[in-house]
Structure 1
Amino acid sequence: MERILVVLYLLIIIQRLGELWLAKSNFNWMMSKGGKETGEEHYFLFIVLHSLFFISLAVEFFFSTRQFTSLFVPFFIMFLILQVLRVWCITSLGRRWNTRIIVLPSEKPVSKGPYRLIKHPNYLIVFLELVVIPIMFQAYMTAVIFPVFHLALMTIRIPAENQALRE
């Protein structure tokens, strides 16, 4: 059980690092196409939030009973569904997907995939992941604290992104 969760933890970290690499590649591409970045003054808060999330998750897991509970299977299924939705968001935005706020002045906002249904689907998915992932790892304090921090950060991020898209 413990090995399975350690492997899952490492796979999630590898996934996130791969997404950061993709975001950097997309950043370079967008900037070469005349992209304009905004919100860079709060971007470091995302790095801090997500780094502390993985540290908190590991620490809390280390001090837990590390046994499968009846919650693991349904929350693992929710996690898998969230990963499909996450990939849908990334592929819908294509080269325009990023962890930063970058706008290509000559382009209209993407309105396909999940973006035709809601304006910021990726932020909703991240919020749900910040609840679901810790519950899989029996890190219940992490499951409570980090979604709240995420919501607080969204009060800065979403208005900044909406303003950038309007301009």
Structure 2
Amino acid sequence: MWGHLPSWYLLLVLLVGVERLVELVIARRNTRWSLARGGVVSGRGHYPWMVALHTGLLAGCLLEVGLAGRPFVPALGWPMLGLVIIAQGLRWWCVVTLGRRWNTQVIVVPGLPPVTRGPYRLRWLRHPNYVAVAVEGMALPLVHGAWITAVTFTVLNAMLMVVRIRCEEAALASLAPVAPGRTPA
């Protein structure tokens, strides 16, 4: 059953899992900082679904490779590993750029201006962290041919991101200053 799960792939998925735990520690610290400054939390209803989806991604990678015996295909696996590494780099660029304002939840602190540096300076890439999540969620399973997990995560993540991005945009818009004589969008 688990004979098809190579130790290097198990280690890769575990390392991504550890990275997610580090994110949660940072998010908890940043949540305390934000709330102490009047931060407003939005989107509590979709957050547990995000946690479940990301946990399911990691479990799905291991289960599909281990139970279905998905092979490592170098022509697919190596480029996908490269994308996983690039996605991690983009994610951590976002975390570092946002500093204490980065979080796994939607929390906005009144009075703080939007971040417009790092990956957030690119007008055409409004949500770079979500791009990193989407790329990683597709690529990590495909490193070892877990295509069912890749497709399932990608579809469910796209549906969840519609909700998440709307929530985040509304939260940010509620804090944006309104010019005299204009109403908020």
Please give the range of the TM-score, normalised by the shorter of the 2 chains: over 0.9
Q: Distance in 1 between matches of 2:58 and 2:172?
A: 31
Moved over 6 A (4+): none
Q: Distance in 2 between matches of 1:47 and 1:76?
A: 23
Q: Aligned with 2:46: secondary structure? A: helix
Is the 8 Å Cα contact of residues 2 and 67 (structure 1) preserved in structure 2?
A: no
- The residue number in structure 2 matching 1:102 is 107
- The residue number in structure 1 matching 2:131 is 124
Q: Aligned with 1:41: secondary structure? A: coil
Q: Equivalent of 1:152, from 134, 159, 162?
A: 159
Is residue 22 of structure 1 aligned with residue 29 of structure 2? no
- What whole-Å deviation, never above 9, does each CA across 1:19-41 have from its counterpart, x for those lacking one? 11111111111111111111112
Letter in 2 for 1:92: T
Q: Aligned with 1:37: secondary structure? A: strand
- What whole-Å deviation, never above 9, does each CA across 1:58-99 have from its counterpart, x for those lacking one? 110112435431222111112111111111111110000001
1:11-50 → structure 2 map (5 Å cutoff): 11-50=15-54
Letter in 2 for 1:163: A
How many residue pairs match? The answer is 167
Q: Distance in 2 between matches of 1:129 and 1:151?
A: 13
Is the 8 Å Cα contact of residues 131 and 143 (structure 1) preserved in structure 2?
A: yes
- The residue number in structure 2 matching 1:88 is 93
Letter in 2 for 1:12: V
TM-score (norm 2): 0.86
Q: Distance in 1 between matches of 2:57 and 2:24?
A: 16
CA-based RMSD of the aligned residues comes to 1.3
- Structure with max Cα Rg: 2
Which consecutive residues of structure 1, in runs of 5 or more, have no partner in the other structure? Answer: none
Identity within the alignment, %: 39
Which consecutive residues of structure 2, in runs of 5 or more, have no partner in the other structure? Answer: 175-185
Q: With CA pairs under 8 Å and 6+ residues apart, which has the higher RCO, 1 or 2?
A: 1
Q: Aligned with 2:172: secondary structure? A: helix
